[in-house]
A and B are shown apart, each in its own frame.
Chain A
Amino acid sequence: MEFVSPEGLRLDGRRPTEMRQLRAEIGNVAKADGSAVFEMGNTKVIAAVYGPREVQNKSQQMSDQALVRCEYSMANFSTGDRMRKPKGDRRSTEISLVIRQTMEACILTHLMPRSQIDIFVQVLQADGGTRSACINAATLALQDAGIPMRDIVTSCSAGYLNSTPLLDLNYVEDSAGGPDVTVGLRLLSCGTYGYTLGPMD
């Protein structure tokens, strides 16, 4: 199947190094301390941050830093076929872990000992690149909550199809079976943060 036409256009008319349309909003969830909605093309993700607040499970309390928790889930209606198990399955656990570790490295946790910061990310529409959208949404939500961070983490995915590197894959390109990678980058200090993941064909 041809993912890049001879004229150099992808299936949705983008150029290989062109991103999808981005849209962001903060403050959507009134009750949360911080929240954000991030859209990358058709992928829409909402993130809510609660904290710093008292640790619910005292056994996990850390006396020198804040506890960061993250939960990633996909809404049942986010994909084409209704999802059987939106959270708690292995993929969601792994993505929660990765988002947590990425954000934890950015948050100045030592300023808030014995407290807990919860990041909840939910995918409302999944069209490829949900991981990146989640990291971006989480960053925004944390900033909306006023949590001290050392840097901004942003993320995007890329892949390689038809011998062309492609930026910001959508679902069709993602499921094409080629290698893809999701990178989280720290803006100010120029280090690679988040995880890079690349299944190779």
Chain B
Amino acid sequence: MDTRLANTWRLTVNEKRFIETALSSGIRIDGRNPFEYRKLSIKFGREDGSSEVQLGQTHIMGFVTGQLVQPYRDRPNEGTLSIFTEFSPMADPSFETGRPSESAVELGRIVDRGLRESRAVDTESLCVLAGKLVWAIRIDLHILDNGGNLVDAANIAALASLLTFRRPECSLGGEDDLEVIVHPPEEREPLPLIIHHLPIAVTFGFFSSESLLVIDPTHHEEAVMVGKMTATLNANGDVCAIQKPGGEGVLQSVIMQCLRLASRMASDITKKIKDAVETYNTERALRKIKRHPTSITLDGSVNLKEKLNEPSGHNVVNELSRKHLEKPRLASAENASSPGNNGEGESKSSNFGRSSRRDGATSNFVGGAASWDPYSRGVDSDFLKASLASRGTLTPKKKQQDPTGERKPNESKPEESPGDVIPTTSAMDVSETGVHKGGEKTLKDAVKPKHKRKKKAFSSTADAS
């Protein structure tokens, strides 16, 4: 207990009574029903491994970084995972800078238990040189706004960052293979962490009247509730951790009921997280692809437009993506994580600043990469120039060799392309690449077998999410 107590915002007696009376009739002050979560939005930053989660008014950012360190003596071939929380004073007047308060430590420990002790993150794969060098993964959680239920949001932020974090690849070299070389991301694609399952924390609040419980309490409800319990479960129904610190006693049957509820919530939230991560991964892949100067885009915009207007846009997209999966891809598309490749459903939860790409499938891109012979297709330099010049509009059907382009959500319109066109590449956005079913098959067909191989190769390796 600290001086923070002096700064704590307290609820008036009237407000308390109001909240409790409303709850006894099953009404919550923000209009939710007792077992409903607030709106969850997961966004990602530019860096791999940074996420921003908003659960109603609660706002938390997570960052994951990795460092090579010496392992613990008793676990010489396992990496380490540590969680640090930062309760920023801007989140709540009772938070102070400096040493983490009790609640900060508690939050860190709950998230830590869920992730580390349930072996969600595979630490053995983080070993580089047994006994000498392992990866130490550090998760930093910054609380930006305390709207209640920090634990759940922090847990989601930690998971989202872990899923999108990429660590540099390292290999052994030097004489007698004892020297570790860390490859920078430009040289070799960084690798994702291996995460076996996603432990989701679900917090319940108990009130003074028997059997009154709510899920995901807001700041106000937290000030009124007399006890709380956090259950961490994964989508398979396994209980990873339970924390019920003091407070009002509850019957064992109530605890069992809470666990059942929590397992339902956990599957919903897992799905949301996975969708958001996929969208991010697709986008990331697209960004990577753009980096390569010899990539070309193609269009098919015209055809696409027709598709765009279809009401069943999503289905179309999925269809198209599947078709695209067959088409040749960039060598560097191996970086596109496989989730993207499967053309799975979109996630509505992210709204990236750059462009609102929704769907998962990565473009079928045929472009240059270090190992790719850019001249095999005979890139038309005139076309490239033309497309650069006409940046901002979809290049009119140049039935190019290969259909390329990035997959965009149905509504990606030409006006979005400016944001996406990057000078170094002439990648233009084509909404729904899918459309080039049309004739440009010649070279592609020739190329297809090669790509198919590659695609298979990285479908099997990519994974993570």
Question: Contact residues of A with B, CB < 8 Å?
Answer: 57, 59-60, 62, 67, 69, 90-91, 93-94, 96-98, 100-105, 179, 181, 186, 189-201
> Chain B interface secondary structure, helix, strand, loop or mixed?
mixed
B241 within 8 Å of A by Cβ?
yes
Asked if B249 and A189 sit within 8 Å, CB to CB, the answer is: yes
Task: Tell me the complex Cα distance, A190–B119, Å.
Answer: 34
Residue of A nearest to B109 (CB): A94
* Residue from A97, A104, A190, A197 in contact with B242 in the complex, judged by beta carbons closer than 8 Å: A197
The contact string, 1 if C-beta is below 8 Å from chain A, for chain B 225-253, is 00100000000001111111111111110
Residue of A nearest to B108 (CB): A90
Task: Tell me the complex Cα distance, A101–B103, Å.
Answer: 12
Residues in B neighbouring A200, C-beta threshold 8 A? 117-118, 238-241
Asked if B246 and A198 sit within 8 Å, CB to CB, the answer is: no
B12 within 8 Å of A by Cβ?
no
* Residue from A62, A102, A198 in contact with B245 in the complex, judged by beta carbons closer than 8 Å: A102
* Residue from B239, B242, B246, B252 in contact with A100 in the complex, judged by beta carbons closer than 8 Å: B246
Asked if A96 and B245 sit within 8 Å, CB to CB, the answer is: no
Asked if B1 and A98 sit within 8 Å, CB to CB, the answer is: no
Residues in A neighbouring B248, C-beta threshold 8 A? 105, 191
B6 within 8 Å of A by Cβ?
yes
Asked if A195 and B241 sit within 8 Å, CB to CB, the answer is: no
Known pairs A105-B248, A191-B250; A197 contacts B1 (CB<8 A): no
Residues in B neighbouring A191, C-beta threshold 8 A? 248-251
B177 within 8 Å of A by Cβ?
no
Asked if A59 and B109 sit within 8 Å, CB to CB, the answer is: no
Residue of B nearest to A70 (CB): B1
Asked if A102 and B246 sit within 8 Å, CB to CB, the answer is: yes
Known pairs A97-B106, A189-B249; A59 contacts B3 (CB<8 A): yes
B187 within 8 Å of A by Cβ?
no
B113 within 8 Å of A by Cβ?
yes
Task: Tell me the complex Cα distance, A101–B119, Å.
Answer: 28
Residues in B neighbouring A190, C-beta threshold 8 A? 249, 251
Residue of B nearest to A90 (CB): B105
20 additional contacts (CB under 8 A) given A60-B3, A192-B255, A193-B249: A59-B6, A67-B1, A90-B108, A96-B102, A98-B246, A101-B245, A101-B247, A102-B246, A104-B246, A105-B248, A186-B249, A191-B250, A192-B244, A194-B244, A194-B246, A195-B243, A197-B241, A198-B239, A198-B242, A200-B117
Asked if B6 and A60 sit within 8 Å, CB to CB, the answer is: yes
Residue of B nearest to A185 (CB): B249
B186 within 8 Å of A by Cβ?
no
Task: Tell me the complex Cα distance, A200–B1, Å.
Answer: 30
B5 within 8 Å of A by Cβ?
yes
Residue of B nearest to A62 (CB): B5
Task: Tell me the complex Cα distance, A103–B245, Å.
Answer: 10
CB distance from B266 to the nearest CB of A (A): 13
Asked if B250 and A192 sit within 8 Å, CB to CB, the answer is: yes
Task: Tell me the complex Cα distance, A98–B244, Å.
Answer: 8
Asked if A59 and B5 sit within 8 Å, CB to CB, the answer is: yes
B2 within 8 Å of A by Cβ?
yes
Q: 8 Å CB contacts to A: which residues of B255-313?
A: 255
CB distance from A117 to the nearest CB of B (A): 11
Asked if A196 and B243 sit within 8 Å, CB to CB, the answer is: yes
CB distance from B92 to the nearest CB of A (A): 17
Task: Tell me the complex Cα distance, A119–B119, Å.
Answer: 35
Asked if B5 and A101 sit within 8 Å, CB to CB, the answer is: no
Residues in A neighbouring B109, C-beta threshold 8 A? 90-91, 94
Task: Tell me the complex Cα distance, A186–B302, Å.
Answer: 72
The contact string, 1 if C-beta is below 8 Å from chain A, for chain B 101-121, is 011011011000100011100
Asked if B252 and A192 sit within 8 Å, CB to CB, the answer is: yes
CB distance from B114 to the nearest CB of A (A): 9
Asked if B246 and A195 sit within 8 Å, CB to CB, the answer is: yes
Task: Tell me the complex Cα distance, A103–B247, Å.
Answer: 9
Residues in A neighbouring B3, C-beta threshold 8 A? 57, 59-60
Asked if A97 and B245 sit within 8 Å, CB to CB, the answer is: yes
Asked if B249 and A105 sit within 8 Å, CB to CB, the answer is: yes
Asked if B119 and A201 sit within 8 Å, CB to CB, the answer is: yes
Task: Tell me the complex Cα distance, A98–B245, Å.
Answer: 5
Known pairs A57-B3, A91-B109; A199 contacts B241 (CB<8 A): yes
Task: Tell me the complex Cα distance, A67–B5, Å.
Answer: 11
Residues in B neighbouring A186, C-beta threshold 8 A? 249
CB distance from A102 to the nearest CB of B (A): 4
CB distance from B93 to the nearest CB of A (A): 14
- 7 nearest A-B residue pairs (beta carbon): A191-B249, A101-B246, A199-B117, A59-B6, A93-B105, A102-B246, A195-B244
Task: Tell me the complex Cα distance, A108–B407, Å.
Answer: 64
CB distance from A19 to the nearest CB of B (A): 19
Task: Tell me the complex Cα distance, A147–B242, Å.
Answer: 30
Task: Tell me the complex Cα distance, A100–B1, Å.
Answer: 10
Residues in A neighbouring B239, C-beta threshold 8 A? 179, 198, 200
